[in-house]
Every structure is written in structure tokens, then in C-alpha cells.
Chain A
Amino acid sequence: MFKANAWVISVLMGLGHLRAAYPLRDLAHEGIILYGSQRSTPLREYRIWRRLRKIYYFSSNVGKLPLLGKPLLNLLLAVQQIQPYYPRRDLSGPNTAVRYLDRLISRKGLCSGLLERLDGTPLPRIHSFYATAMAAARRPGPAEDYLLICDSDFNRVWVPRDPRSGRLKYLAPCTQVRNRLLAYGVPPERIFLTGFPLPKENIGGREDLEILREDLFRRLLRLDPKRKFFSYHLRSVLGWLSQEEVPQASPGHFNLTFAIGGAGAQCDMALPILRSLQQSVLADRVRITVSAGINKKVYERLLGFINRLNLGGEMASGRIGLVYDPDVYAYMDKFNRVLRTTDVLWTKPSELSFYCALGIPILMAPPIGTHEELNRCWLREIHAGVDTAGPLRFTHEWLFDLLENGRLAEAAWDGFLKVRKLGTYKIEDLIRTGACSEGNSPLEQ
């Protein structure tokens, strides 16, 4: 067990920022600080956080509003807009969001309660949300501040007004993020290409990655029932995963996990998917797990879909599963457990995009917001993400086509080969020694 010697600070704004911080819990002094919650935040400041959360949840669902939904969504997307990376140019000038955040911190005292708490123990501080990092990095003191970027590309607001003179260090999950940080004016010596922190319980030891490799091999067997994928990649798979041969039989059932985001915006998709796959579930061709998050209303709606489709009995037999817990950490533990046997993760391209590094193909639901649009582009570029191949009501047709032609297995393999998976360990190295290697091979990254 790694000795706790850093502050790990996150916020509950959806689940993404906390999901990024949770694998770092072994490092966390006094546990992960979930800032902006009623208990951890002074009342005056708590109101600001509550308002920010309301805006977040509203913007996640605004597209569904009748008539005004689309124009409002376009307006919000314009506010979040990320400048195109090409042509390469200096993007270090602050935008409106940077100036607004500056004002919130300096005039409204955003994060002042947090800083008072941190000042007492000058340990390194790892932030998974920009606002706490900006506030902490402005304060003079001996502690180092690290900001973990949670998407494959990101808005200028993640970098302070004057990026060159600050002391904030960055943990980049992928090369594209490093390039973007450079474009925003962050000096290279303050950027660490670590990878996104993934749960250790899904990886295993940092040298062997025994859990990841074993799970992935079993997954590839399930994802390639006709052995098309193996006909191309057999030697590569056996080599990287330290296996002797490919068995004839697939180990277990084909498992689909559909993850609903923290704001519950994809809940409506679950019904047509379940309806379409109903017969396949009953025939034991596929097992479905729907991840409801921590939202009771979402959980009840999903349970309602399942019961109304007369699939309630399949929950007892394990053919249908629901992942829910009102405690966000318990939920994440459950979700990570489910991922071990997940063969396809159907999700909007959020921070979960980085979970393709575990060798899980990402079936991409429609993105919400600019960050997710760019995550989708990134997943496409590395071939770890697959677009839905048809309407939801025909999932029972196209999903099995994707399975049988080996496309899902390919995506799983590409994610494993191309995406950094040791983020958690690299960040631990960085905190302990002040440096971390970027690694060369898929097993070292």
C-alpha cells in the first residue's frame, strides 16, 4: 500500500472529475476531498458551487427541452468552445471563462475554505477540477499543485490567465493534451505525460498488469466468436498478453455495459436498447448491465424499464444487471468490478473514453458538449471507439454484426496498445520522486 502523502481534491460535477481522482485514493491524505459539498464548503461559497452544479446538470439535459432545447444547447456549446488546434498558433491569451473564474476566485472567494484547510499541511496537491487548482496555485506557499486533465482536449479555462509565470503543474492523460497545453502557453517542464488514472483493481501490479491482461484475453475470446480478429492479430495478442494459445471455446457470455452519465441524460436511450435486446437476453446471447450512477431517479426509471419489459426475473438470473449506489465511492467500486467482465462499454465519450486503455471497446453514445465531441474524435483516431451502426431499436441486429466481424475485438485491442494505462502508478511516482517516465511499450505506458 502506498503511503498517503498528497491532498487529492475533486468536485462532484457529474462523475467525471471524481472518477479521475478515485484511483488516487491510496495517495490521499485524509481521503479524497470532495469540495463544493455542503459538508466540506463554507455556506457562502457552497451557494456558488450549488449554482455551478445546477448549471452543469441543466446544460447536460438542455438539449431535451422542447423548442428552446436546440438553440440553448448551441449557445452553451458556443460558450464552451475549444479553439481548433490547427493551424498551430499561440493560444495563451485568456478567454472570457478564464476572466470569469479569476473574478470568482479573487472577488467571491471561491475555494477560500479549501485553501484554509490545505494551508495547515503543506503536501503536494492533486486537483481533478480546474477551479480548485487555479485558486490553490495563486496562493504563495511551498506546496506543489498538480492539475489532472480529464478529457483528451480541453478549454482554455483549465490554464491560468498567465500560463508562463504560474507554478501549476499538469498531468496529461494523452499526447494531444500535452500538445494543447503547449499551445496554451504552459512551459514543457510543467507538463507530465502520465496517462489517465485508472483503477488499480482493473490493472493489477504495475510490472505485470496481470489483471488487465487476463481480463483482456478472456474479453477478446468473447468478442471474436468467429476468430476473425485472431486470424490477423494472433501472434501480437499471444505475445503481449503472455498466452500460449487461443482456446476453441469462449469463456462465458457476451457482456454489454451501458453507462449513463452523472446527469442522467442518456436514461432515455436505455428503453429502446433493452427492448431491442430483450429476446437476445432471454436467449442468453448477451448479458446487459446498465450503470445508473448515484441518481435515484435514474435508477428507478431504469428499474421501471426492466420491469415493464418483463425482464425483472432476468435480474435474479444475472442476465440483466443494474449498477447503482447512493454512495459515490461504493458506486465506483461496483462499476469497476463490472468492468472486469465488460466486453463492450456503451457510453457517451466522457472521461470513460480513457478506459479503453483497459482493452474495453467504447461504443459511443452521442456526445454532450465540446469536450465530448473531441473525445469522440480522439477515440476514432486511435480506433478504440466504435460508432453505433444503426438506430437503437435495431441494436439486436447491428451489435451482433459488429461482434461477429471482429470490429469490437479490434477496438479493444487498439485501446490496449495505444492508450496509456499506468496513470495511477505514474502519478504516484511523480509525487514520491518528483519525476515519472513516459514509457515506450504498451506495458510501460
Chain B
Amino acid sequence: MIKVFFLSILAVSLFTTGIYLFFTLRFRPKKNITVDQGHYFPRVSIFKPMKNMVDDLAENLESYFTLNYPNYEIIFGMDTLQDATIPFIHSLQSRFPEIPVSIIATGHSDEQNPKIFKLARMESGSQGELIWVTDANTCVAADTLNRLVLEYRRSSAHVIFSPIRGTGSRSLASLMENMSLSLFTSGNIITAWKAFKQQIIVGKSMLIEKAALGHFGGFSYFSEFLAEDFVIGEAFENSGFKLSCDCTWIDNVSRSTTFRSFFLRMARWAKLRLRLKPVFYVMEILLNPVALSLALPFLLPGRGWLALAAAWTLKIAIELVSYIVLSRGEQEPWRNFLMLPLAVILKDLILLIVYFVPFFSRTIVWQGGNITIGRRTSIGGRGERIVLEGA
């Protein structure tokens, strides 16, 4: 009985991974679209909150200066004007003088979400009807903004969000990270949206209507939560604003990730997910067939190892297809193929360890500070937010 039950769970786990693959392939990145000059192009303010160097920063930033959208500005926000990214921005400014650029030193807050703290200050100087928030380590195709705005017009949604494709792998850990982003994260985003109309917004790319954001008084409304992307999506949804995802993919460039940084990032996201959706998080273990199948040799003496090998092979095959179709950019080395089976198994075993971390820790290391989170990732832990003294 136990064997049948466990094998059913494992089958469901592999099937769900297959579903993720189906949806990511079904809505994989499409070819470039051309700009129809007859349309109205609302002004877009691209918000780039920056903090120190990331992989391929120059190329990433350049992709935002070469968008084929005719009406946009870029606003960079950083703690201080001594940030290491400044020379790159100045260089791009001189190469693309036709693109309006602002650089804002926002300072830093320990008591608020550091990213939201920046965005709230960037907001006051922006001219756009739409705000496109993207992370520093993202790279986009020339038509990405056009696609997002098209979707905005087509759907009348107030927030457009995107799946994330991990690219640029040059190390085993970066390969693991990119595969996790492309299949697990984006599989979740697309499946939840296309199959269940549930939003899972990842903050790496959010196109937001400024007027709708104004109903909340701007970004600072979300400053008390660390998982600002999820909370933004939830607040917009609860407030009757439309959200949409047309599967305009955003590239997340991870080239030199180490095992340590991979572990820390996954642990950070796991801590957020546990505090956001505890029940779903507990069930997440069922989405890791590699980890589940570790029990097979004990449950099926004799044939257990064979079953384990079969399960692992199937998982590797799914990830391989995902990698070939989604993750593998033109510049990715062929040796990634050789590393891929090892990367898949190692990744899932590390994720098994990561899975348990949030049950023992509520502290997150992010943007140079330790942040303790509570329910719904509220910053500061378990306390109530009644800090309103002094009339």
C-alpha cells in the first residue's frame, strides 16, 4: 500500500514537471515582431534599481538602450553615486544620447524593502504612463517592450508580468541556477497563469500602469514586505485591477554563479515562498522527483536502484529538452551539455537541502543587509506595524 502510494506521488511529481515543460515549450520565446508606427505608444519609464556589479552588466544595460520602442526613458536608482555601475551607465549615455536617462541616488533604508525604497524615489522623477521595472541582471530582446505594451493595450491589464529564462551559463552552479529559473520558476509562472489564471509575478520584469499604481500611493505602499513582486500582484488583484502575462520572456544572465551564491539565492526565495504560501510551500517537495526517488531503493529492494535510475533519467531528459529549447543561447558552450546530467541531479539534491532551510531561519541576506521576515514576508519579523507615535 505504501509502495503504491509513494509511486503514485513520484509519478505525479514527474508528471507535474512534464506539465511545466509542456507549458514552457508551448509559450516559448517567439521571433521578433516589427513595430507598427501607426499605433499610439504611451511613454514608458524603465526603472533599473542597481546595486553593484552583476554578470555581463554592460551587455545587459545596452539591451535597454537598443529597444525598438519609440517613446521611453531609463531611470537608474542606486544607493549612492559612487556605485560601481555608474561608469557603465555614463558610457552608454554617451553612445546613445537620444535615449533620455536619469540617475538618482536614492539612499538606503534598513527598515523597508531596499528595492521598493529605491523605486519609490525613482517614481517621483518619472514621466511615463507606464513603468517597467527590471532587474540589473536582465537582458532583453529589442522588441520586448513593444510586446509588453501590445499586451497592455490588448488586454487592458494594469500589470504585465513575464516568465524568466536563465542564460549565459559558464559554471556548473550558473547552469543549475539557469535551469531552475527556466523550468521550475517559469514553469510555475506560465502554468499557474495559463491553466489556473493565478498570478505569480517575479520582480525581474513588471510593466505597471502608473495611474493604477497611484491608487496605492505609489511603490511605498509595498515597502513593508520583502517579496514585493508577489505582494504587488496580490494587491492589484485584490483591488480589482487586471493582470496579464503574454509570455514575453526576459533573460536573466547568470554566468559566474558559485555554489554558495546559488544556495543562498535559492534559500532566500524558499524563505519568501514559505512565508507567502505556507501550504503550497510544504507541498513543493512533491515537485522534486529526484529527491523523492531517493526513497526508492528502500521501498523496492532489488529493483529500487533501477527505478531510481529511471526516474533520474526521465528528469534529466525533461530538463535537457527545456535547456535545448529555452536556455541554450548561441554563446553557451557545448560542454554545458556534458555537465547537464550532473547539474540536474546536483541541483535537485541541493534544492532538497534548501527546502528545509526556511523552517529554521527567517533571516535573509540581501543587498548587503540581514533582514528578518515574518508573515507574508513582512520586514522586521513577527511584530505588528503599529509604530505611529507622535502626532
* Residues of chain A having any CB pair with chain B under 8 Å: 12, 22, 25, 28, 30-34, 36-40, 50, 53, 296-297, 300-301, 303-308, 312, 315, 326-329
Contact = CB atoms under 8 A, between A and B. Distances in A.
A303 B391 contact: no
Residue in B386, B387, B391 with the greatest tally of chain A CB atoms within 10 Å: B391
Contacts of A53: 384
Interface centre among A30, A296, A301, A329 (most CB of B within 10 A): A296
B241 A307 contact: yes
A304 B215 CA distance: 11
A40 B383 CA distance: 13
Interface stretch (B33-41, B67-75, B79-87, B232-240): B232-240
Contacts, number: 60
A22 B390 CA distance: 10
Nearest to A24: B391
B384 to A, nearest CB: 6
A430 B388 CA distance: 27
Given A300-B235, A303-B215, A315-B215, A39 B387 contact: yes
A118 to B, nearest CB: 14
Contact of A300 (B239, B389, B390): B239
Contacts of B385: 326
B267 to A, nearest CB: 28
B215 A32 contact: no
Interface string B361-391: 0000000000000000000000111111111
A329 B388 contact: yes
A34 B309 CA distance: 63
A312 B158 CA distance: 13
A303 B386 contact: no
Given A303-B215, A304-B239, A37 B391 contact: no
Given A31-B390, A32-B389, A50 B384 contact: yes
Nearest to A50: B384
Nearest to B386: A37
Contact of B389 (A34, A304, A307): A34
Contacts of A329: 388, 391
Interface string B23-45: 00000000000000000000000
Given A38-B383, A315-B215, A300 B388 contact: no
Interface string B237-253: 01111000000000000
A36 B387 CA distance: 10
Given A303-B215, A307-B241, A328 B387 contact: no
Contacts of B388: 12, 34, 37, 327-329
B386 A304 contact: no
Contact of B387 (A37, A300, A303, A312): A37
**Chain A interface main SS type:** helix
A328 B383 CA distance: 17
Contacts of A306: 240
Contacts of B238: 297, 300-301, 303-304
Contacts of A33: 389
Given A53-B384, A300-B239, 8 more contacts: A32-B389, A37-B389, A38-B386, A297-B238, A301-B238, A303-B240, A307-B241, A329-B388
15 contacts: A12-B388, A22-B391, A25-B391, A31-B389, A37-B387, A38-B383, A38-B387, A40-B389, A53-B384, A301-B238, A303-B238, A303-B239, A303-B240, A307-B239, A328-B388
Nearest to B231: A296
User: Which of A34, A40, A301, A303 counts the most chain B CB atoms within 10 A?
Assistant: A303
A263 to B, nearest CB: 14
Name, among B384, B386, B390, the residue most crowded by chain A CB atoms within 10 Å (CB to CB).
B386
Contacts of A36: 386
Contact of B240 (A25, A37, A296, A308): A308
Interface of B: 215, 221, 235, 238-241, 383-391
A257 B388 CA distance: 25
Contacts of B240: 303-308, 312
A38 to B, nearest CB: 5
Nearest to B389: A34
B107 to A, nearest CB: 20
Contacts of A12: 386, 388
B385 to A, nearest CB: 8
A154 to B, nearest CB: 24
A28 B391 contact: yes
A127 to B, nearest CB: 15
Contacts of A300: 235, 238-239
Contact of A34 (B215, B235, B239, B386): B386
- Of A31, A306, A307, which is in contact with the most chain B CB atoms at under 10 Å from its CB? A307
A436 to B, nearest CB: 22
Closest 10 CB pairs of A and B: A307-B240, A31-B390, A303-B239, A304-B240, A25-B391, A300-B238, A37-B386, A32-B391, A308-B240, A300-B239
A188 B342 CA distance: 86
A326 B216 CA distance: 11
A297 B376 CA distance: 13
B64 to A, nearest CB: 31
Contacts of B390: 30-32
Contacts of B387: 37-39
Nearest to A304: B240
A326 B223 CA distance: 11
Contacts of A30: 390
A209 to B, nearest CB: 23
Contacts of A39: 387, 389
A39 B240 CA distance: 35
Nearest to B236: A300
A315 B239 CA distance: 14
Contacts of B241: 307
Nearest to A302: B239
Contacts of B221: 296, 326
B236 to A, nearest CB: 9
B159 to A, nearest CB: 13
A31 B384 contact: no
A34 B389 CA distance: 6
B272 to A, nearest CB: 19
Given A303-B239, A304-B239, A307-B241, A38 B391 contact: no
A299 B389 CA distance: 22
A39 to B, nearest CB: 5
B55 to A, nearest CB: 37
A12 B215 CA distance: 26
A300 B221 CA distance: 11
Contacts of B389: 31-34, 37, 39-40
A340 to B, nearest CB: 20
B391 A31 contact: yes
A25 B390 CA distance: 9
A34 B388 CA distance: 7
A30 B10 CA distance: 63
A107 B215 CA distance: 47
B215 A38 contact: no
A38 B239 contact: no
A58 B86 CA distance: 52
A304 B235 CA distance: 9
A53 B386 CA distance: 11
